[in-house]
Amino acid sequence: MSTPAIHYHTVPVGNQSIFYRESGTASPLVLTLLLLHGFPSSSHQFRNLIGLLGPDFHIIAPDLPGFGFSSHPNHTDFAYTFDNLANVIDNFTQVLKLDKYALYVFDYGAPVGFRIAMTHPERVVAIISQNAARCN
Helix ranges (DSSP H) in 64-108: 82-95
Give the predicted TM-score (pTM) of the model: 0.93
Q: Any bridge partners for residue 10, and if so which?
A: 19
Half-sphere exposure of 60 (CA within 13 A, CB side): 27
What are the 10-residue block averages of pLDDT along the chain, 136 residues in total? 86 97 90 94 94 93 97 96 97 97 95 96 95 67
Of residues 35, 81, 84, the one with CA closest to residue 61: 35
